[in-house]
Amino acid sequence: MVRILPAVLFALVSVLSACEPAQPQPDSVAKTYAEAWQKSDYQAMWALLTEGSQQAVGTEGFIDRLPRIAQEMTLSSLDVKVGASSRPSVNGTADPNHAVVPLDITYHTQRVGDVRRTTTLAMTYIGEKDKGVWKIDWAPTAILPSLTPGRLVRMTRLNTTRGRILARDGSELATFVEGAVIGIVPGQVRSQTAMIASLAPAIGVTEDSIKQKLAQPWVTNDTFVPIRTLSGAALDAAKAKVAVIEGVQVQATRVRSYPTGLASQTIGYLVEASDADAAKPERAKRGVQAGDMIGKADSGLEATLDDVLGGTYGFRLTVIEPNGNPVETLAETPAAPGQDVVLSLDPAVQRAAETALGDRKGAIVAEDPWSGEILAIASRPTYDLNAFISGDVAAIAKYSADPNKPLFNRATFGQYPTGSSFKPISAAAALRTGVYKYGDLLPCPVRWTGYGEQFAQLNHETGDLGNIDLRTAMARSCNTFFYEIGKRLNDRDANLLPDAAKSFGLGKATDIDYVLEAEGVVPSPAWKKSYFKTAAEQVWNPGDATNLAIGQGFLLATPLQMANYAAALANDGILWKPRLVIEIRDRAGATVKKLEKTQLGHANATNTELSLIRDTMHAVTTDRDGTVAFVFQNYRVSTAGKSGTAESPAPGKVDAWFIGFGSFEQPSIAFATVLDEFTEVPGRFGSVDSAMATKTVLDAAFRAN
C-alpha cells in the first residue's frame, strides 16, 4: 500500500485550491452603480439591485422616485466616490457573500449649494463563486442616511420681503400693510360652480376671473390659488362671507400699499407672476415662482427695480416625516430681503404739481438745475395703484377704458410739439453762430415772407410790432421774428438749429436710470431721409427750418426732456443726466449704492449767451407785455420762463407749455409744464393756464425752502 504523507497531502490541496477561479469583488459593481447614478441612468442602477430590493421598493420607489428627489433638491449634478469594500464578520470569519461599500456623495444643488453625505451600499453575492454576481440590497438610506422608509426629501422656500420706495424726506411712497390673501384649494371644493358663484360677489371679482386663475397650468388639487388680496375695511367685510364657502381659505400676508397716491405712473404696481415671468433667468435665480407678486412690466419703478426691491427667496433642504415634521436639515440658503429705493422726489412739490394739474390731461416735471435730481414728475389724470393690488376689477376696467388714458405716463412718454418754448434754443443758436447779434432789431410783422409769398407764415398777433430786439421778441413771443432767425440759420447750414436742439438734450433719451421714456424727435435733413420713404417727403424744405425755429413742424419732446433743457438754461449750459433714483439702502438703512450726479454734455452756448437768454426769459414773466407777466405780477419769487402754444393733432386743441426756472437770480428749480390737448377760448390761453399751474409748484418749492 502506498502511503501519502500529510505534508504532501496539504501541498496537493493548496495547489488545487489555487487553480480554482476566485470570487469577484463587490467594488466594481458599486463603481458601476455610482457611474450610472452620476449619469442619471436609473435603469442601469435598477438592474444592479437584488430581486428582493426590487420587489420591496418597486419601480415607483426607485426609477420614478430618484428623479423626483433630484428635482426636489434642484440637483444640477452629483459626485459619488466609492470607498473600499469590507466584509461583515460571522463567527469571527469574514462573510464571503456579503459586503458593505461606503459612498461619499456630494449633491450639487441650485438652491442650497453643495450637500455632502456618506452612505453605504449593502452588497449580496448571488450564485456560486465565479458563476455568481454581486447585487445591491438597496434602501433609501443609500441616498441619504436619514432617509429611512416613509421619509421624504423636501425643499422649502423661505419667504423674502419686498423693499420700500421712499421719497427724499423718508416718507413712504410704496410700503406694506397687514392684509390677507383670499384663495382656493381646488381639492377641497366639491362644487366648483357653487363655490365660484358664492365667492365672486363676496370679494368683488367676476366669476370669469376666478375660473381663469383656477385654470392656470401650475394649479394642482393641493395648491392654494390666490384670488384677491384685501386689507383694512374691505378685508373685514369679506372675512365673514368667505368663512362659510367650501374650499376657500384666508391667509394672512403683508399687502403692498401706496399710501400717498403720488407719481402713480412712475412708481408702477405689482401683479402675479405667470409661468413665463417666473421662468426668466433673473427671476428664477431669485426663486420667484408663478403666483408671486412682481413689478408689472412697463408700469414703472416697481418693474424696472424688481430685482432690487423684490429680494431673493431662501431655501431649506430637509428630510421630513410623512406628517411633515422635520428630521434633518441638509442645507439652507437664507432669504435676502429686498432693498429700499430712495427717490429724489419732494413730496410737497410732487403733490403741488398733481394738484395744479387736477383732472386735466398734462404733466409737470421739476428738476434741481445743479444736480439733475427730479423733484416732481406728475402726470394727469392719474389712477389708484392700490386698485391693482386689491384686484378691484371694476376700477381697473374703468382705468383701461378711460379715453384720457390715466395709465399713460405723459411726463416721460408724452411726446409733444413744444411751440414757442423752443425759442430760447433758436436764440442760443443765432447768438452762437453770429446770424444775430444781441441788441439788433428785426421786424415783427403780422405776415412773414422771407422765403417768398409761396412760403408766407403768420404771427400770432394781429398787429405789426415794427422792429424789435430779442428781449421783446421773447417776451411777446413774436413768431415772425423767429422765422427770420430760422431762415438765417438754415441759409448758413440746415443742421445748425437741429444740432443746437440736440445739444440741449432734445431728440434723444435723457438716459435717466430705471425710468422708461420716449426719445422725442428733432427734425433735420438726415432725419427726414431716414424717416420718410419717398424722395418728395425726404426733401428738407424752407418751412421745416422756420417751423422748427418756433417749435412746430415735426419737433416732439417729452416734459422730462424739456425740464432738463430748462435746467441747462438755468445753470449755464450743463446738461445733466436726470436722476430720480438717488440711493439704494438695505433694510437697516445702510447705503448700498448711491447714484451720483452725472454730466451728459454741455449746451452749445457760452455763459454770456445764456445769461442774455435768461434775461429775455425774465422778460416773459416780468415785462408788461410778457405773455404770462400778469400770472407772476408781484410774485415773491423772481422767475424766468417761456410760454408755448403748439398745434395739437386733436382738432381745435393745443398743447400748452410753460418752461423756466426760479429764482431768476439764483435758480434752484427748473420746470416744464404741458397741458395736453387744451381747449382755448376767448380770454383763456393754454400757456397762461400752464404758467398758473407752474406757479402752484413754485409756491410749494419755495415755501419748503
DSSP 235-288: HHHHHHHHTTSTTEEEEEEEEEE-SS--SHHHH--EEE--HHHHHSHHHHHHT-
**Integer angstrom CA distances of residue 564 from 368, 660, 661:** 9, 10, 11
Question: Cβ distance 231 to 255 under 8 Å?
Answer: yes
Per-residue cell: 218 = 401650475
What SS3 state is found at 35?
A: helix
Phi, psi at residue 602, to the nearest 5°? -145, 135
Partner residues linked to 364 by β-bridges: 378, 673
Q: Which long-range contacts (CB under 8 A, 24 or more apart) does 590-594 make?
A: 592/339
Query: What 8-state DSSP symbol labels residue 556?
Result: B
- Please give the average pLDDT of every successive group of 10 residues along the chain, which has 705 residues: 46 45 88 98 98 96 97 96 94 91 97 97 90 95 96 94 96 93 93 94 91 88 87 88 93 91 97 91 92 92 97 96 94 97 98 97 98 98 92 88 96 97 98 97 96 91 94 97 98 98 98 97 97 96 96 97 98 98 96 97 98 98 95 96 93 95 97 96 91 98 76
Alpha carbon distance 670, 569 (integer Å): 9
Pairing of strands 340-343, 165-166: parallel
Per-residue cell: 213 = 386663475
Alpha carbon distance 332, 118 (integer Å): 19
Partner residues linked to 165 by β-bridges: 174, 341
Chain-centre distance of CA 97, in angstroms? 64
Alpha carbon distance 362, 380 (integer Å): 5
Chain-centre distance of CA 547, in angstroms? 38
Instruction: Report pLDDT for 216.
Output: 85
Type of residue at 307: D
Question: Cβ distance 267 to 302 under 8 Å?
Answer: yes
Domains of the chain in sequence order: 23-149 (3.10.450.100), 165-319 (3.30.1390.30), 350-383+409-704 (3.40.710.10)
Summarised one tens digit per residue, pLDDT across range 534-581 is 999 999 999 999 999 999 999 999 999 999 999 999 999 999 999 999
Instruction: Report pLDDT for 477.
Output: 97
pTM across the whole model: 0.87
